[in-house]
Structure 1
Amino acid sequence: MGYTTTKNASHHVPAEYEVRYYMRTPAITLNIAAPLSDALALMREHDVRRLPVVVDTGELRGMITQGDIRGADVMRVAGLDPLDIAHALRHVKVYEIMTEDPIAITPETGIREAAMLMIENKIGGLPVVDDQGRVIGIITESDLFETLVQQLDNHLA
């Protein structure tokens, strides 16, 4: 299918703690056949560090992060010509370096479960998919930190 989704059937989460209320939507996605230069441009344009990678139907196939692309900075520091680096970024396709079969969650997943999945798997974000595997949002560690701060503010107020 191209991703691993979690089902939280064993845990009933109160509706107000479902990911659907905390995820960013619509998610900025990238086509699997796009060049790395497009990934980098989208990340910079939208100030994000990760992008779900999809096929034409919107179904999740992978994730690509700034860390995956960071090799370009290493090449620059190593003294390689910036034009050579730009050329490489235009010719390497996203599918060649993306993480395949990423963990994905559904809108009904609880925010605690999402946070635990990120901690246990040492990842900074999870794509949120619908029943057909189409990406409908993303939740990141930043979103969870914002939620924590809001909860603390409400509790301490």
Structure 2
Amino acid sequence: MKVEEIMHTDVVYVEVPGNRKDVMEIIQNHNIKAMPVVKKGTKEIVGVISQTDLLLNPDEDQIALLMSRDPIKISPNTSIKELVNLMIDKKLRRLPVTKGKEVVGMVSIGDIIKAISKMTIKIPIKDLINTNIHVVWEGTPLSAVPSIMRMGNVRTLLCIDDNGGLSGIVSDVDFIKESKIVSEEKSSSISSSSDKEWSWETSDILLITKKKLKLPNKPVRDVMTKKLITTNEFSSLSECANKMWKNKIDQIPVLDARGELIGMVEDETLVTAFQNKN
């Protein structure tokens, strides 16, 4: 199987020059997490930009300064095995597919998960479960959660209620949907003076306008996904992949035989297990 068999050819991209607002509109309208950046009026790739770039750089507005330059690219004729090896080795979630300098497609971990879901791989996920679970109280202000994710190096948090029970899940996607771009003005005094008694003292006020990403003043419970998709520890690799692909999720809570939460399984973990099998 080759990359061209699983890639998306209806590529959504953003052009440079451009700004944060352009990226946010595309992410929200097309429900995607990242896209290639091309030179204006062409399909020549110059970078890749993701919602993570927006969250990690809330003060930056220009796409050219937000994007990752010189991205790793792949050919449509590359084998799936090579693709998986590259993505795992470089810790990539998606790759632009190019012919020459032009973008012809995008391929992601999700596309590999879809391919795995159509196979019959009976490896149990029991040994793939990450028991190091990151949680947040559902009453936590939304504005604090990006910092919690950044410090924990995670993109998703499970949410718990006042009694410590599992009540939902929140991801970085939810922040982009809820965030707004606001203009912020700061004033700075520029003064100049001379040692001479007769000199004038002058002072000018410089107004600096910055575009910032702002989250609304609301608790996590207002934006979290309350309907949790879960799997059990006895599911097979393909069964788990199928559930993740059908529900368009990149990680899934795992329950034991009593229905108690024991951990999470990420899509990268399934892909790594698939690679090790071959």
Other-structure match for 2:104: 136
Matched, 1:122 2:91: yes
Other-structure match for 1:145: 113
For 1:141, give the aligned amino acid. I
Check the 8 A contact 1:114/1:126 in 2, yes or no. Answer: no
Runs of 4+ in 1 over 6 A off after TM superposition: none
- Shift, 1:44, TM fit: 1.4
Q: Percent identity?
A: 27
- Shift, 1:71, TM fit: 3.6
2:76, 2:54 → 1: CA distance? 29
Check the 8 A contact 1:30/1:52 in 2, yes or no. Answer: yes
Calculate the aligned-residue CA RMSD, in Å. Answer: 1.8
**TM-score normalised to the size of structure 1?**
0.71
**TM-score normalised to the size of structure 2?**
0.41
Report SS of the residue matched to 1:103. Answer: coil
Check the 8 A contact 1:52/1:64 in 2, yes or no. Answer: yes
- Shift, 1:68, TM fit: 0.2
Radius of gyration: which is bigger? 2
Bigger strand share: 2
Unaligned runs of at least 5 residues, structure 2? 122-237, 239-278
Other-structure match for 2:27: 43
For 2:119, give the aligned amino acid. Q
Bigger helix share: 1
For 1:126, give the aligned amino acid. L
Equivalent residues, number: 121
Unaligned runs of at least 5 residues, structure 1? 1-16, 76-87
Larger RCO (CA under 8 A, 6+ residues apart): 1
For 2:18, give the aligned amino acid. A
Matched, 1:69 2:69: no
Report SS of the residue matched to 1:58. Answer: coil
